[in-house]
Structure 1
């Protein structure tokens, strides 16, 4: 064969190799940022990149087109929230929605790696398509799985639906058996509030347009566990030279507790492991310097586990503590009350109609917007 099959299992890795090989073969002819974009900002055949100015964006787009053409790749469907950048792209290479863009018209919405991107406002949101599905385990799972949420913005909402599926599994219902009336009422109530998910709108860029030069950047990780589940969330806290503070959700994760019941301290420990793994990924993937990292929990038992350096623990606890100690140091962990812990929302779940708690989840606790006076924060170890 002289071509790779479209849709084969090997196709994504072959595509990634070909792109990176093209960049490596021509690394001496282009600036490092162009080569780095190919290595870090392509996901299969999509590229997402942010630069600080329109001038840099125009030049980067031109250089990327030139570089990729050397490997036989033609970059198309270009889209930007800057009209100047769009105008610099030939019409044949633009996204279909902006090929004939009239002056004064609003920029359309599009998809960025499956997430709705409102180009005109430069915000990200979720799209919910309600389809009629039978009231069975198969139908419920189909609806829940149709919510594509890679950033975990709606993870506390979908946790409740996953809990319903878990209850049906415990009752050993078949995939196509009708669910009992009690669960039916619970499912219909969750389904009725689902359209509120479309009200979740977050800025694509963590840094506001009117924000000054960043003086300090912190990553705050929260974790929690409950009888229903456990979870973690990460918030980026930035302070500019004028003392203004900006805090936003970077990533969230909610998981159901195992069907075999385990203690709350162990669930808290599992949530802390999720937070540590989340932090390890973000410290590598975020293209910005993280000055400080802090981990928060409302469990004093968990803090006791982490700070205990002499006692030997059983396998379950010991394995998870080893992950925590490999990623963080004990002095990075802090105690927070349950009311101020947004991961409490992740572990217990909420209705999408609960606007107040949903905003707390998206923007973080109020104390992160304060000066945090008197709080010793450990230096981040990358």
Structure 2
């Protein structure tokens, strides 16, 4: 509703948008629908893998895809650029841990971090993949955190803890002690803006010191070692446990190739503090088992691996 020509003295008129607004509540759904509709309309001109990639590997406006060889990656990149262009989508900001793949991508479509790099000699940069710091040179995730200085209060502690983005649970053993410290202050009904007691201050300072050591910590992005080959079968192994302080689960994937070589990799972790209200250990262990089941359902639907069976173990 708006006034004609912006004249407030005239009656309101009803207008209809001719384009989708950027930032509207419906915008993400409309964008995803248009993208998938593009893949559906052009499925006869491209391989099934390309169409499946558009439908399964886009996260809002980001695309993440892993392929077994550089040749297949180059072909996939070219096909993705072509099929998305049919719907008016231009895929930009391309980055890869393979120099050969990057050289096959037009310069104007590469990531801005690659603009001034010599792909033949310069080290590949540190970039982000869905919020995680991805070192493309070593093909690993890193956790160099820039924690802003906050006051030593409950509010400042909560802000610092919440600023750690760790969706895969790599840092759960480090974050949980800080959450327990914050929970203890909540149990004492400490004020949100009151300076924390000295004994808690020492523990908090030690935790902040340990947090700085994350700059030397990295996790390999690929769950398969080099030269492992095609995975013939895979198994998910879930381990859940609980204590009076907290509960959690860790998931590993066990893979086997055609030569019966076996490799196990950490896949996902999650940890939570126990509720303030006292809960029995068996009930907490049951809660951890429920968490493991939910993770199993999610991983089975997302992993593109020939999963054979699932193993679960309670601590």
The normalised TM-score by structure 1 is 0.75
Distance 2:250 2:258 in 1: 27
Q: SS state of the match for residue 291, structure 1?
A: strand
The answer to whether the aligner puts 1:98 opposite 2:114 as a matched pair is: yes
Q: How does 1:277-356 map to 2 (within 5 A)?
A: 277-298=294-315
The structure 1 residue matched to 2:97, chosen from 74, 81, 85, is 81
Residue equivalent to 1:136: 153
8 Å Cα contact 1:159-1:256 kept in structure 2 = yes
8 Å Cα contact 1:154-1:197 kept in structure 2 = no
Distance 1:163 1:21 in 2: 47
The answer to whether the aligner puts 1:121 opposite 2:161 as a matched pair is: no
The structure 1 residue matched to 2:29, chosen from 3, 10, 13, is 13
Q: SS state of the match for residue 251, structure 1?
A: strand
Q: 1:197: how far off?
A: 2.4
Residue equivalent to 2:38: 22
Distance 1:214 1:27 in 2: 27
Runs of 4+ residues deviating >4 angstroms: none
Q: 1:45: how far off?
A: 0.4
Larger Rg: 2
Residue equivalent to 2:10: none
Q: How large is the RMSD of aligned CA atoms in angstroms?
A: 1.5
Q: SS state of the match for residue 103, structure 2?
A: helix
Q: SS state of the match for residue 233, structure 1?
A: strand
The structure 2 residue matched to 1:45, chosen from 61, 76, 79, is 61
Worse overlay, 199-208 or 90-99:
199-208
| CA displacement 1:155-177 (0-9 Å, x = unmatched) | 12111111122112222223222
The answer to whether the aligner puts 1:207 opposite 2:231 as a matched pair is: no
Residue equivalent to 2:239: 222
Q: 1:196: how far off?
A: 2.1
The answer to whether the aligner puts 1:249 opposite 2:244 as a matched pair is: no
Q: SS state of the match for residue 219, structure 2?
A: strand
Q: 1:243: how far off?
A: 4.2
The normalised TM-score by structure 2 is 0.90
Distance 1:180 1:126 in 2: 29
Distance 1:244 1:63 in 2: 33
Distance 2:260 2:85 in 1: 46
Residue equivalent to 1:109: 126
Distance 1:276 1:28 in 2: 38
The structure 1 residue matched to 2:166, chosen from 149, 162, 182, is 149
Q: Which has the higher contact order (CA 8 A, sep 6+)?
A: 1
Distance 1:215 1:35 in 2: 24
Structure 2 unmatched runs, 5+: 1-16
Q: 1:297: how far off?
A: 1.2
Q: 1:127: how far off?
A: 2.5
Q: 1:85: how far off?
A: 1.0
Q: 1:198: how far off?
A: 2.9
Distance 1:155 1:253 in 2: 6
The answer to whether the aligner puts 1:3 opposite 2:19 as a matched pair is: yes
Residue equivalent to 1:175: 192
8 Å Cα contact 2:42-2:83 kept in structure 1 = yes
Distance 2:20 2:230 in 1: 47
Q: SS state of the match for residue 307, structure 2?
A: coil
Distance 2:229 2:80 in 1: 29
Residue equivalent to 1:71: 87
Distance 1:228 1:9 in 2: 39
Q: 1:69: how far off?
A: 1.2
How many pairs does the alignment contain? 298
Structure 1 unmatched runs, 5+: 299-382
